[in-house]
Structure 1
């Protein structure tokens, strides 16, 4: 008989696990849902004064382990959802000998010395916590979300309205100490088996994690260890409320060690983003200066029109090669150079979801430097964005300069995904497109895009249609995200050629 200890996230208590716990019990498991101090736990009942911090919650989970260990026969599986993974990992470090497995349920990866606040995606919420802490109130708390604010803490997709009501009614303020105190780990639990259960509706997937590993993100490299396995649920961030039976099944499978293992990048088989460009392009020499590579036409005299290519992301700062050495961007730059247009690729600093402001400044600076090059016709420039750089297009659509002849986007993410939090009103592309006027827009749309990304594109398209924007859509019906190197098909090749024709037509007329 497996023993499950379930630890919920911020503002919540054991009640969120009711449906899943009942199904686990029906399957023969022993189930304990932990009531954390300050969120319905022991200090609440006693009315005891004092600061509740992360160590308080670690102690709560340790107490649950000690209590369950007296009767546990099949091993203890610790399950941490969202914030709950922090006290879970801390407790596993202190009771490693009693724990059979740790399950990360749509959560981050806690690190020694790092507070839980670092895992909060929403920059505005993080800043609010820090402001409250700066006021010096040791007992300060973060108020729970209102009914309409839960989506800021993760997708509420598939959660019944009645469950949202219940979640809101029973929510408790989160003690700030639980978010600000750094987690302390000795490494005692490093060898424990671990499972990740990812909620696809919240913007997480095994494929996405694998892609991040392929990019070389250092914090994810431990996931290559043989002790890790991953499962997915096709729902939002609250599977215990939206799909309790499916979650129970996933936890039972995880406890048995089932799941998909990630693979290390193979030099003999490069990851998708380093695959070959699908069409033949000329060998145009590049000129490298600081963070920009230029591909300048060799034959025709200048000044030439230019296309500035803006890579997606976030891309880890440690990723090698950097985006301007990726074949897909080099392929596009060489392709336009072969047609008499300067191709420019920049490495910008979109390294995390908090970096959109910084990346926007990098792009603006690079564009002006390209326009200042004497070989470039500064009045004929196009910008071409990819994937996660989609929100950066808002600056250019919202106030298009006269020299901007075209703005293109390939398989873009046009708004913050559910697990991103808020990235700033400045980057609301669906608002900005209303001010685009007659600026030609080219959208290259992948037919097999993930539902979460496709939803952001659909919202943008609806806004573009409502204001009569000059939007030209190139469909790749059987194309995935990054189709140029993922799908080496004639359809992909024709889409690349069609996109090049569409963009260049606005520069050469």
Structure 2
């Protein structure tokens, strides 16, 4: 099976390198994407928004035989959500890594400090302590070196979902900062941010306790968990 991996903000496809071994050993082909405007620190990000990134993933979906597994980390979760909405017949499962799909009209994050049409990786004190769990000084330096600015419009362009077929796709959340019990309690309480999650017909939640970047802090464990979710290639 093809497994398409979408990085979160400030990361390129290379950020998945240490977490794909388990998938490849199970016979799957990993397609870790570097999204438009994130090819290098000096890449143009003018006019690139959420729809641009979703369309880039849809183009890859159209180029491969389905069904595929879509994996989205952090802000990349909304991108795989949008791709699954556009091509539900091509997607066997969606895996959200320390993130959840957003309800129609939601935005990823409209509070990040922008510099023109870019969102540079901010200072660490912008993040909550739970985000930074296990992100050692050495890993923070590594993150800084690999970081590329995010196109600002990706963070603020509203999500648009309406295709009911998306709700029947097998879905998984890998929860790093919260427990399954917490997430399900929010769903049951009707917390608005979990409205889309609560509508999914086939949802499993897996715990991987660490900070917000498990592909950096616990890459082997993340890779093994992804391999178990995707399964052994027939």
- Short-chain TM bin: 0.7 to 0.9
CA distance in 2 between partners of 1:195 and 1:113 (Å) = 22
Residues 278-305 of structure 1 show CA distances to partners (whole Å, capped at 9, x for unaligned) of xxxxxxxxxxxxxxxxxxxxxxxxxxxx
Report the equivalent of 1:116: 108
- C-alpha distance in 2, partners of 1:100/1:127? 33
Match of 1:88 in 2: 80
Q: Quote the Cα distance in structure 1 between the aligned partners of 2:154 and 2:6.
A: 14
Residues 438-478 of structure 1: CA deviation (Å, up to 9, x unaligned)? xxxxxxxxxxxxxxxxxxxxxxxxxxxxxxxxxxxxxxxxx
1:205 CA drift (Å): 0.8
> For each residue in 1:54-101, what CA deviation from the matched residue of structure 2 results, as whole angstroms up to 9, or x when unmatched?
11111121122223x24x5xx311111110011111111111111001
Do 1:4 and 1:30's aligned partners in 2 also have CA atoms closer than 8 Å? yes
Gaps of 5+ in 2: none
SS in 2 for 1:62: helix
Is the aligned partner of 1:143 residue 2:142?
no
Aligned pairs, how many? 228
Is 2:184 the partner of 1:210?
yes
For 1:264-413, what aligned pairs fall within 5 Å after superposition? none
User: TM-score, normalised to structure 2's length?
Assistant: 0.85
The equivalent residue for 1:481 is none
How many angstroms apart in 2 are the aligned matches of 1:154 and 1:172?
22
Q: Which runs of 4+ in 1 moved over 6 A?
A: none
Rate the CA distance shift 1:218–1:173 in 2: closer, same or farther, 3 A.
closer
Shift of 1:236: 1.5
Q: Which residue of 2 aligns with 1:424?
A: none
Structure 2 distance, partners of 1:162, 1:24, is: 26
How far off is 1:15 after superposition?
A: 1.7
* 2:156 maps to 1:156: no
Q: Is 1:191 paired with 2:168? A: yes
Alignment of 1:117-132 (within 5 A): 117=109, 126=111, 128-129=113-114
Alignment-derived partner of residue 16 in structure 2: 17
Cα distance in structure 2, aligned partners of 1:229 and 1:210: 10
Q: Which residue of 1 aligns with 2:4?
A: 5
Deviation at 1:159, TM superposition (A): 3.4
The 3-state SS of whatever aligns with 1:156 is: coil
CA distance in 2, matches of 1:52, 1:154: 30
Cα displacement string for residues 97-153 of structure 1 (whole angstroms, at most 9, x for unaligned residues): 1100111111132122222226xxxxxxx1745xx7xxxx5xx2122124x447449
Check whether the contact 2:174–2:206 (CA below 8 A) recurs between aligned residues: yes
The match for 1:181 among 157, 177, 180 is 157
Q: 1:212 to 1:111 in 2, by over 3 A?
A: closer
- Paired position in structure 1 for 2:89: 97
> 1 CA distance for matches of 2:15 and 2:224?
17
RMSD: 2.6
How many Å separate the matches in 2 of 1:225 and 1:84? 18
2:194 counterpart residue number: 220
Task: Give the gaps of 5 or more residues in structure 1.
Answer: 119-125, 257-509
Shift of 1:238: 1.1
CA distance in 2, matches of 1:153, 1:36: 28
SS in structure 1 of the partner of residue 167 of structure 2: coil
